[in-house]
Amino acid sequence: MVNIFFGLIFVFFKTNLSFLDIGAIYYLTSIIGYMSIFFGIRELGSKNQKLIKIKPYIIFMIYHSIVFFFLNITENSPLTIALSTSLGTFISLVGLGLIIVGMFMIFIIIFLLIECLNDKTSKTFNNKLLYNLTNIMMLTFVLAGVSSIFNFIPMLVNTLMGVLLLLEVLFLISYYNVYFVKNEKLT
Q: Global pTM? A: 0.84
Could you report the per-residue pLDDT of 15-69, keeping only the tens digit for each?
777 777 667 888 899 999 999 999 999 888 888 888 888 999 999 999 999 988 9
Q: What residue ranges do the domains of the chain occupy?
A: 2-181
- Tell me, rounded to whole angstroms, the distance of Cα 14 from its chain centroid: 11
Q: 28 near 11, Cβ under 8 Å?
A: no
Mean pLDDT by 10 residues, the chain (187 residues): 90 78 82 94 84 91 90 80 79 82 88 78 69 92 87 85 92 87 54
Dist CA 148 CA 34 (whole Å): 26
DSSP codes of every residue in 21-78: --SHHHHHHHHHHHHHHHHHHHHHHTT-GGGGGGHHHHHHHHHHHHHHHHHHHTT--G
